[in-house]
Amino acid sequence: MLFADVNFATGVMLLEYDTGADPRAQAIAAVAGAGHGVEPLVADDVLIAEPTWWVRHRAEVTVAASGALIAIGWLLGWLGAELAATVAFGLAIMAGGAITWRRAAVSLAARTLDMNVLMTIAVSGAAAIGEWGEGATVIFLFALGGVLESRSVARTRRSIRELMALAPERARVLRAGAEREVAPEEVSLGEVIVVRPGERVPLDGVITVGASAFDESPITGESVPADRAEGDRVFAGSLNTTGRVEVRTTAGAGETTLARIVDLVEAAQASRAPVQRFVDRFSRWYTPVVIAGALALAFGAPALGQAGAPWPGFEALPDWIYRALVLLVVSCPCALVVSTPVAIVSAITRATRDGVLVKGGAFLELAGQTHAVVFDKTGTLTEGRPAVAEVVPLAEQTAEEALWLAAALEAHSTHPLARAVAAAGAEGAADITVDALVETPGRGVEGVADGVPLVVGNVAFVTERTAAAAASAAASATGEALERAAALEDAGLTVLALARTGPDAALLALIGLADTIRPDAGSTTGALRASGIEHLVMLTGDNEHAAARVAAAAGVPEYRARLLPDGKTVAVAELREQHGVVAMVGDGINDAPALAAADIGIAMGAAGSDTAIETADVALMRDDLAALPGFFALGRATMTNIRQNIALSLGVKALVLALAVTGHATLWMAVFADTGVALIVIANGLRLLRTR
């Protein structure tokens, strides 16, 4: 059994077959026989040999020969040697159409009608009615356009090949205390590799020795090198700029982040956006209709014009046949067919360079139609890490001194809130001696700090520890402290309390913590609103007060709080009904149902998450929101580009078609309307490679 999958965007054909019968050589020969260049990606003596110079440059040579013969034909015609000129034009047709004829034959054998068939009929008809010069010029220009088109589209393919080439061919692995250079495929999972300054990382891994700055732009799109030290991840293809490091590998050669990006981008470029599928369907019935129309024009028009006259007497028949040939050439759907894929492939390549992994052209199309963007709160608009936001002193200590005391106790706990307090007061806590430390998991920590018995933890836990010793005055102070704690909670903060225990128990301070807003959250939401996305919504499982605080700080006008995962899914569905196309931005791991319910699920920080890369529709490789407005802008630019291409293709064709029917168009004008417009469309699509 043989299965062949051809990715025209990347120029790769994948063959799947039974091992008992190896059809590779025959398949490659069939592709070459249809006039396409072909070469194996992997060296294998079973496959055909490396293509010769002639195979690689056949199209260019035949086009050059055709052009030279046309020039000779014109010269001979000017000298009055009409027969010799006709022979030169005939040879020019044979040279320029060598590939076109073969492809037309393959199409007819497969019972399909494509642009090669149309061009073959048109040139043959031109020769049949004696228009040898025009026929030769038409096939020359068509073949020249094909060569230029191939070179233009190859620019987008080169971008992916350049990405693949970033992974070094050799890795320096530590074995038995010595460095050995081997192919990355030979490095086992968990082995240690050495990366020197100026070298690219061959495999994903974690730094075990050393520190350096790494240029991760091929992965994340970030142009500024990122500092990485022991325990940090590094990615294959990133450039080590300053120091020698040792890296323990975490992925094989074919499973690195870079390899997955290349695979997914190639698959995305092969996928078709809805507008592209429409163009493909349109082209399938368009060509037969054009041929039928040309036949009707060639033979029906003179019949209508000379009613009652016998057929052999049609003196105007050659003129109508010429008009029909012009119609055939101008109706070739070259420009229309390439109007969409070139724009889609260019946009996907541009997005990848900017650190945005788009899974297919359909999501670029949806990005251009998006009216609402939904954000998860924790880890998306916020850093996902609590930090001290406010310290309220209640006794003789200052806010700073109270924070130092709390940090001295919390430094010995692993609770996320404890780590936040310890980090905030680390400078002053270093000089405080702590003894007799006791932690009550999930509630708080007790100990003796510089001889003073203290407790820090949630408000309920701390008041329990101080209530037994509290006198009436202390009880009154405790009541006031609880009111202040409630006010902090109403402001969306998580509150911890610090108290002195023992005979003179007293509350010393309240510490309010909050998830830190991402520095780029406000600028991102502002850019989205400025770009025309009318509705920004935040969804969170947090309480109403915390949600309001984060939404206000991030510039999100609408939020929904206390939502469970299924509630977020329902909210996304409601927003789709209200606003149309909805994109949701999350961290790629949590809230998966809501991401799936949105038209576009966007995961951020995907460079460090295998799950996000595999499951998201769109993945922001960096752990920030900076690339988000650019993605939606690229989607709108892509759809504008496609509409421009389609309008130009159909508009020029309609004009020349009208001129053809009235007899005012020539075959040369028809070639421009077909091949010339196709080249303009390709150039317009390639502009997206430079879109920022």
For residue range 7-36, list pLDDT tens digits in order: 665 667 777 777 667 677 777 777 766 666
The CA distance from 647 to 651, in Å, is 6
Tell me whether residue 595 is in a domain: no
Phi, psi of 359 (to 5 degrees): -80, -5
Q: Which of 483, 516, 549 finishes a domain?
A: 516
Tell me whether residue 569 is in a domain: no
472 vs 559, residue with greater confidence: 559
Q: Which of 87, 89, 51, 55 is nearest to 70 (CA)?
A: 89
**580, 532 Cβ separation under 8 angstroms:** no
517 sits in which H/E element: strand 506-517
Q: Which of 204, 220, 255 finishes a domain?
A: 255
Is residue 666 over pLDDT 90?
Answer: no
Residue 448's CATH number: 3.40.1110.10
The residues, any chain, with a CB within 8 Å of residue 379's CB and separated by 6 or more, are 586, 587, 590, 605
pLDDT for res 281: 64
Tell me whether residue 370 is in a domain: no
Is residue 105 over pLDDT 70?
Answer: yes
Task: Tell whether 155 and 248 lie within a shared domain.
Answer: no
Task: Tell whether 101 and 143 lie within a shared domain.
Answer: yes
With vertex at residue 585, the alpha carbon angle to CA 579 and CA 590, rounded to the nearest 5 degrees, is 120
Determine if residue 480 is left, alpha or beta; phi over 0 gives left, psi from -120 to 50 gives alpha, anything else beta: alpha
Catalytic sites, residue numbers: 376
Task: Tell whether 512 and 392 lie within a shared domain.
Answer: yes
Is residue 500 over pLDDT 70?
Answer: yes
Task: Tell whether 140 and 281 lie within a shared domain.
Answer: yes
Please give the C-alpha separations between residue 514 and each of 168, 393, 559, 664, in angstroms, as whole numbers. Answer: 44, 18, 17, 75
Task: Tell whether 392 and 483 lie within a shared domain.
Answer: yes
Q: How big is the chain, counted in residues?
A: 692
User: What are the residue ranges of helices labelled H in 378-514?
Assistant: 399-410, 416-424, 426-429, 459-467, 472-490
**Token pair belonging to 354:** 């900017």
**629, 623 Cβ separation under 8 angstroms:** no
pLDDT for res 51: 57
The CA distance from 427 to 411, in Å, is 12
Please give the C-alpha separations between residue 346 and each of 100, 151, 264, 343, 359, in angstroms, as whole numbers. Answer: 27, 14, 15, 5, 14
DSSP codes of every residue in 214-246? EE-HHHH---SPEEE-TT-EE-TTPEE-S--EE
pLDDT digits (tens, 9 = 90+) for 314-368: 566 677 777 887 777 777 777 777 777 788 888 888 888 888 888 888 888 899 8
Is residue 55 over pLDDT 70?
Answer: no
Share of the chain above pLDDT 90, in %: 13
Tell me whether residue 20 is in a domain: yes
Bridge partners, 392 (sequence order): 510
**Token pair belonging to 122:** 């048109």
Task: Tell whether 412 and 509 lie within a shared domain.
Answer: yes
Tell me whether residue 387 is in a domain: yes
Bridge partners, 495 (sequence order): 512
Task: Tell whether 83 and 144 lie within a shared domain.
Answer: yes
The CA distance from 136 to 143, in Å, is 11
- H, E, C per residue of 276-309: HHHHHHHHHHHHHHHHHHHHHHHHHHHHHHCCCC
Tell me whether residue 364 is in a domain: no
The residues, any chain, with a CB within 8 Å of residue 679's CB and separated by 6 or more, are 145, 148, 149, 152
- The per-residue pLDDT of the chain, averaged, comes to 80
Task: Tell whether 32 and 62 lie within a shared domain.
Answer: no
Task: Tell whether 208 and 93 lie within a shared domain.
Answer: no
The CB density around residue 235, as the number of other CB atoms within 10 Å, is: 26
pLDDT for res 632: 94
**48, 40 Cβ separation under 8 angstroms:** yes
pLDDT for res 636: 93
Q: Which of 231, 255, 279 finishes a domain?
A: 255
199 vs 676, residue with greater confidence: 199
Residue 214's CATH number: 2.70.150.10
The 205-209 sheet, strands edge to edge: 178-182, 171-175, 192-195, 245-249, 205-209, 233-234
pLDDT for res 46: 44
> 600-604 and 582-586: which strand pairing?
parallel
Is residue 48 over pLDDT 60?
Answer: no
Domain that holds residue 179: 171-255
Bridge partners, 438 (sequence order): 446
Task: Tell whether 440 and 502 lie within a shared domain.
Answer: yes
The 212-215 sheet, strands edge to edge: 226-228, 212-215, 239-240
**The one-letter amino acid at 64:** A
pLDDT for res 280: 58
Bridge partners, 358 (sequence order): 618
**238, 215 Cβ separation under 8 angstroms:** yes
Is residue 476 over pLDDT 60?
Answer: no
- Min mean pLDDT across 85-89, 228-232, 258-262 is at 258-262
- Residue 301 — very low, low, confident or very high, per pLDDT cuts 50/70/90? low
Task: Tell whether 210 and 322 lie within a shared domain.
Answer: no
The CB density around residue 673, as the number of other CB atoms within 10 Å, is: 28
**The one-letter amino acid at 365:** E
Tell me whether residue 585 is in a domain: no
Tell me whether residue 462 is in a domain: yes
Task: Tell whether 414 and 511 lie within a shared domain.
Answer: yes
Tell me what the mean pLDDT of segment 393-417 comes to: 87
Domain count, the chain: 4
Q: Which of 263, 322, 274, 268 is nearest to 294 (CA)?
A: 322
